[in-house]
Chain A
Amino acid sequence: MIYRSFNTQRMPDRSAEIFEVMKPPPFAYLRPTSLQEALEALDDDDGALPLAGGQSLVPMLNMRLARPSTVIDISRIPGLTDVTQQQDSVVIGARVTHHALGQHPALASITALPRAVAEIGFQAIRHRGTIGGSLAHADPAAELPTLLLALDASVNLSSMAGSRSVPMDEFLVGYYSTSRRADELVTAVNLPATTELRTGFAEFSRRTGDFALALAAVATWTADGTRHARVSVGGLDVRPRRIADLESLLASHGPESAAAAVSSDLLDAETSASSDIHGTAGYRLELGVEMVRRAIEQVAEAA
């Protein structure tokens, strides 16, 4: 079979135009040097989006899934990369990178953190991607939102109207959607101080660095003389979900009982997994069961 070339006409020389063709849509760019400046810019333009490490936003720009009027580069604002111990919490600046997060001495007691960070994309992504960016992007299968939900974290948001702190469960609204208003900037994540914290994290993806098909984060700690527990699963719904029944079981009866009780039905009751080309809902739920069991096992081993 002979394929005819359809392009029999000479193409005019458009190299000058092609040179200027770019993939992201046009936007204005601002690079404020203070938080105040950034908040003013966000307030001014409700089509503006903040840019931190760019590892989530720039792919969206390249594919034209995001079309902000202005990109506000917050990479030069001081004070957003600190990790500080406060009396009742650890405060993690929004621009702390994944790489830094996995190694920070102030976070060493959270053994699940380096495990979770190691699963985030690839090294080049971890060098620039940030905790604030990951949360603001709220991918349903992202590691940090799922883990931070289990750690009872809250998100600090600032705007010209003031600052507020939103618990993770309230911050994560839905599919790539959070309760951040368009004029707000994620400035930090608060982790409550805990006693005898034991954590676990497990994820399943088909290839290293792929988005997870299912992931689980488990945390237990002591407060007011009793054991508290959180079980958070991701990839099984539009946002990470807590599995309340497992939490009570884990807190009152310990890891062995909780691990024995995990089932697809139990997870299904609290999530809404969907089928897609990466797997059926049933498959994701089964993976979820295994991931929860592994995370619980890590908590048991930490004791």
Chain B
Amino acid sequence: MTAIGRAIAKQQVEITVNGNRHRAEVEPRTLLSDLLRDHLGLTGTNIGCEHGYCGACTVIVDGETARSCLMLAVTADGSEVTTVEGLQADDGSMSELQESFQKHHALQCGYCTPGILMTATELLTSGETLDESNVRRALSGNICRCTGYVHIVKAILAVADNRAEQR
């Protein structure tokens, strides 16, 4: 096979997304963000800068947040991915975090929101005691042009406080 032939030859990828196993055929250059959006129809993950800066494409891969625009789909072969679509309960009701975002008006256009929800999900399981300062620091990798982050921080802290109270 010619070099170009090898390059565009598709590869099999097996990937578990939000608990469901999928198989897809992709070119090596297909990004995970493109696999999720175009091949699997999960358009909750948004594409912003496509070089790792804005955070709109943030998902969780094998338990850790990752920029899906910086992963080749082929490298995610065998991995478990959670996208924003995976946060809701099986009956479709919103997660505690999503409800808190709604209650605290933590989104306007909503474009950054899926990425922020994934970052917040990881932050809330980190075991750190959260305050405004470290929440803002954790959000530094997610650009939001609408909200000024004020209500986003409130929404996340509300969930953290709730969980602390429940213990």
Contacts and interface: CB of A to CB of B under 8 A. Distances in A.
A176 interface: no
Interface in B72-129: 72, 74-75, 119, 122
A26 B8 CA distance: 6
A21 to B, nearest CB: 10
A124 B70 CA distance: 10
Contact of A54 (B4, B9, B70): B70
Interface string B60-80: 000011110111101100000
Contact of A73 (B8, B55, B67, B75): B75
Contacts of B165: none
Interface string A22-63: 111111110100000000000000000001001100110111
A63 B51 CA distance: 8
B4 A26 contact: yes
A185 to B, nearest CB: 17
B127 to A, nearest CB: 13
B55 A124 contact: yes
Nearest to A209: B140
A59 B54 CA distance: 12
Interface residues of B, number: 35
B66 A23 contact: no
A125 interface: yes
Contacts of A209: 140-141
Nearest to B141: A122
B75 A75 contact: yes
A24 B67 CA distance: 16
A85 to B, nearest CB: 27
A32 B58 CA distance: 27
Contacts of A124: 52, 55, 58, 64-67, 119, 141
Given A125-B67, A127-B64, A62 B51 contact: yes
Contacts of B138: 123
Contacts of B137: 208
Contacts of B11: 29
A202 to B, nearest CB: 17
Q: In the complex, which of the residues A23, A61, A73 has the most CB atoms of chain B within 10 Å of its own CB atom?
A: A23
Interface residues of A, number: 34
A41 to B, nearest CB: 12
Contacts of B7: 26-28, 69-70
A27 B28 contact: yes
Nearest to B126: A123
Interface in B10-50: 11, 27-31, 34, 38, 50
A228 interface: no
Contacts of A29: 11, 28, 72, 74
A28 B6 contact: yes
B66 A59 contact: no
A71 B75 CA distance: 11
B123 to A, nearest CB: 8
A73 B137 CA distance: 31
A42 B9 CA distance: 20
Contacts of B164: none
Contacts of B69: 58, 62
A207 interface: yes
A19 interface: yes
Contacts of B71: 54, 58, 128
A121 interface: yes
Nearest to B4: A26
A169 to B, nearest CB: 29
Interface in A203-227: 207-209
A63 B53 CA distance: 13
Contacts of A70: 6-7
A69 B67 CA distance: 24
Interface of A: 19-20, 22-29, 31, 51, 54-55, 58-59, 61-63, 69-71, 73, 75, 121-125, 127-128, 207-209
10 contacts: A29-B28, A29-B74, A54-B70, A58-B31, A73-B72, A121-B52, A123-B119, A127-B64, A127-B66, A208-B137
> Which 5 A/B pairs are nearest by Cβ-Cβ distance?
A122-B141, A29-B28, A59-B51, A208-B140, A24-B29
Interface of B: 3-4, 6-9, 11, 27-31, 34, 38, 50-52, 55, 58, 64-67, 69-72, 74-75, 119, 122, 137-138, 140-141
